[in-house]
Structure 1
């Protein structure tokens, strides 16, 4: 006996999603509060009164009283069970009709592949079976898209699985850059809602540099308020005058050591001279910054949110004037370290292009992520106007990706 219920509680939905192997922030009930330019409804699906599936649905109002429904990284269900898949898709279509939906779009948290950069692996047979089941249930698959712009959620992502000593898994050059950040006095700590403005400021600098629109102070504050302790704001700071004073002390000591070193101690003289040159370079760099900036300055940040035992690293920003301080190499390891300490099994660094040759992939590969390839998007036709609606949707998506 299959049944479904509209308007289940946030707790019932979240508990089911967290207990599944498809846990994802975008299926958390609170995500709908973040995406408050959409309406939301939660549906529970049952077999003999036992919950077998759940879906948090975003509802976009369209002209003429029509809607589009979207289920990000859902619905959460057993995609291997054809009976369950058939019932859920049929019920979603029925619900879609009640909302005058043209179509329902969804992208389940099912992986076709997971591999380290350079590895060759086969597609997951269970996911291919799920694909067949979804097709049999009457959905339309958009296929193995390769570009981020081709789907609402990226089909490829760089995901770091946490462990006790994360840095041991990083490449040598990453460890070197972590050391460089430390040498320049970069320190990463977890911030609070009071630090949102400083974070928004570095994100705005990133927007200007890359010519992209991310989010503003109000959006970040809303996210921090909604998720509370599950929102992680990590900030990379540097105390410029303090670090300058430390360099000046180092230089004084080096010059004292040089003065006390005999001419025949060639190796020691060479080493001290190299240190002197290096510290003098740092002093010159820091003197310019101290004239321009406050004592302690936030130069980069990352806002992440956990749901259950997983985490999405959603927004990042950096003051490009401090790119030689390599703050990301202080920030990212700290996020992974804190995530592991809090029982989080993975921290998703976000989407990459399927070609894996873009700048994002190259940067993210510094942290030894697993590249995960999702199954992609599906459409459930609801209205007789489905085909022209999809044509209009795809044309709009194409024009937006060009800007």
Structure 2
């Protein structure tokens, strides 16, 4: 399929603070408080880069780092997670959906070379970054058309509506600097390289409602008519959420491999950092919890992170009711984007995996390919062994 491609020179995910070309940067350890302060200067940053995320990742060590210019001013920052190989003492360094630097810079070596040097001193055998920078966008009409054509089976075969020149240039620089991509639109990434966004900026709730397809509007109205009540939960409701999550995993054929303790730790850590950092929404009917979804907010971006629902009474549309409440709350909080996270690239309507995309397209939003995750090997033998280990886990 083909379409007219427009180009947008900047990404809503990238730092808006370009720096003079001649400024030398230094990477050094900073306090979590300074990292949090820097995030406050940005329109948004991934919740995976917030200092609180380090408390969620049991079994990982962490460090917050900053890039400083010659005046000592912090011009970029990141949360680094470390996984140590006990036998050798070497570490895998991971910056989930980071670092928070100026990805539009024409000389990314100024940022990445000192990062690698700093992590080498920390005995890192490999570094993985995940720049949350747009590459391509597919708007709802293009996605709907592709889903109607039986001969188009994968999103990778559909021409995007928009190309981010800065993202393309950043990818070219990363390759030239020796970084290795996890692969376009693949499952090799830890975090999704393909997400679905619902734009909220400069739109009223009526505009957003009109952007929904008939099925979404019908489902939301039906939930309201049937008396499905949506409310905010708290930490005491996490066991109910976890029970529904296990039902959802078994029904839909996936396993996140997380314990209830993981989600309790996540809720406690993120909520303590900021009252809007994580919220739990519950949809109830006749005293029974039928759906539970989580939402995260950092700056002007909201994430629908996890959704769980019962396998019975689905005709009451509890998940649509929760989503509509979360979207309204994100809009009320001044968010510019409602991020519905990842989905599978298949467009084959006979493949059940395409159902998630069809559901999300019903909001009238857009699919976005990000720069994705990139690795820099420092010890090639350890890096190769580590990749074999990760591949075996994915197969299982």
TM range (shorter): 0.7 to 0.9
Matched with 2:303 is 312
Task: After TM superposition, list the pairs within 5 Å mapping 1:293-332 onto structure 2.
Answer: 296-332=287-323
Matched with 2:153 is none
Matched with 1:24 is 46
Matched with 2:8 is none
Q: 1:185 to 1:22 in 2, by over 3 A?
A: closer
**Does the CA-based 8 Å contact 1:79-1:133 persist in structure 2?**
no
Instruction: Indicate which of 57, 71, 82 corresponds to 2:95.
Output: 71
For the pair 1:402 / 2:375, whether they are aligned, the reply is no
- 1:76 counterpart SS class: coil
List per-residue Cα deviations over 1:104-147 (Å, max 9, x = no partner): 01110110012323434242111112223333433233342x23
Q: 1:201 to 1:232 in 2, by over 3 A?
A: same
Distance 1:201 1:391 in 2: 38
Higher helix proportion: 1
**Does the CA-based 8 Å contact 2:281-2:293 persist in structure 1?**
yes
Distance 1:352 1:211 in 2: 14
Matched with 1:134 is 174
**Does the CA-based 8 Å contact 1:80-1:133 persist in structure 2?**
no
**Does the CA-based 8 Å contact 1:178-1:326 persist in structure 2?**
yes
* Structure 1 residue 398, shift from structure 2 partner: 3.0
Matched with 1:269 is none
Higher mean C-alpha deviation, range 160-169 or range 49-58: 160-169
Matched with 2:362 is 366
Higher mean C-alpha deviation, range 27-36 or range 119-128: 119-128
Task: After TM superposition, list the pairs within 5 Å mapping 1:223-372 onto structure 2.
Answer: 223-228=266-271, 229-230=275-276, 231-239=278-286, 296-357=287-348, 358-372=354-368
**Does the CA-based 8 Å contact 2:220-2:321 persist in structure 1?**
yes
List per-residue Cα deviations over 1:323-361 (Å, max 9, x = no partner): 111111101011000111112222221111234552221
- 2:362 counterpart SS class: helix
Distance 1:122 1:5 in 2: 34
**Does the CA-based 8 Å contact 1:158-1:350 persist in structure 2?**
yes
* Structure 1 residue 60, shift from structure 2 partner: 0.8
Cα-Cα RMSD:
2.0
Distance 1:211 1:355 in 2: 16
- 2:306 counterpart SS class: strand
Matched with 1:41 is 63
**Does the CA-based 8 Å contact 1:117-1:365 persist in structure 2?**
yes
For the pair 1:91 / 2:138, whether they are aligned, the reply is no
* Structure 1 residue 22, shift from structure 2 partner: 5.9
Distance 1:179 1:74 in 2: 39
Matched with 1:389 is 382
Unaligned runs of 5+ in 1: 240-295
Runs of 4+ with >6 A deviation: none
- Normalising by structure 2, we get a TM-score of 0.80
Instruction: Indicate which of 185, 194, 201 corresponds to 1:156.
Output: 194
Q: 1:14 to 1:206 in 2, by over 3 A?
A: same
**Does the CA-based 8 Å contact 2:248-2:308 persist in structure 1?**
yes
- 1:353 counterpart SS class: coil
Higher mean C-alpha deviation, range 307-316 or range 213-222: 213-222
List per-residue Cα deviations over 1:164-209 (Å, max 9, x = no partner): 3132210011111112222222111111222222222211221232
Distance 2:94 2:307 in 1: 26
Matched with 2:374 is 378
Unaligned runs of 5+ in 2: 1-22, 143-159, 349-353
* Structure 1 residue 72, shift from structure 2 partner: 1.1
* Structure 1 residue 160, shift from structure 2 partner: 1.8
* Structure 1 residue 210, shift from structure 2 partner: 2.9
* Structure 1 residue 151, shift from structure 2 partner: 0.9
- 1:2 counterpart SS class: coil
Matched with 2:156 is none
For the pair 1:204 / 2:200, whether they are aligned, the reply is no
Larger Rg: 1
**Does the CA-based 8 Å contact 1:112-1:375 persist in structure 2?**
yes
* Structure 1 residue 401, shift from structure 2 partner: 2.6
